[in-house]
Amino acid sequence: MKLYTIGYAGKSAREFFTILKNSDVKKIIDVRLYPSTKDCGFARSKDLAFFLWVLCRIKYEHHKEFAPIPSMLKGYKESLFGWNDIEEQYSNLCRARKFTLTPDMDCACFLCAEPTPERCHRRLLVEYLARQNPDVEIIHL
């Protein structure tokens, strides 16, 4: 089983969709809390679903339950706490919400805004899910 992640910030639409088209991704799972704000550009949820299907034949799903809670995002953005705190809080959220790896996640790509996975909850999420099956490969696009 393969789990992919991608962030759209810092990528042009051409770069973003080319990366996805050249991958084995079958579905995008959007894990953002607010996928439709104006600052999302080409990655606004309704536009993104259209572009993904037309350009790449990739399905789109938004799963708000995988997003951090608003106070977690706000606290981090306002430097009220650091990344280590986010890792702990988000791990607790994964356990509390009982996130489960499912067969339909094979070749799914978890999407968020952050350009790299190092300090993004999408990485924490796929690592949490991967611990449920030793045969999971994580690929950051």
Kindly tell me the number of DSSP H helices and DSSP E strands found in the chain. Answer: 5, 5
The closest alpha carbon to 140, from 42, 19, 2, 4, belongs to 4
Q: Is the dihedral of CA 66, 67, 69, 73 positive or negative?
A: positive
5 SS3 class: strand
Q: What is the pLDDT of residues 65-93, one digit of tens each?
A: 999 988 887 877 777 888 899 899 999 99
Q: What is the pLDDT of residues 20-62, one digit of tens each?
A: 999 999 999 999 988 887 777 888 888 999 999 999 999 999 9
Report yes or no: 108 and 4 within 8 Å, Cβ to Cβ: yes
Residue 5: Cβ-neighbour burial (10 angstroms; 0-12, 13-18, 19+)? buried
Q: What is the pLDDT of residues 92-136, one digit of tens each?
A: 999 999 999 999 999 999 999 999 999 999 999 999 999 999 999
Q: Report the DSSP beta bridge partners of residue 109.
A: 4, 28
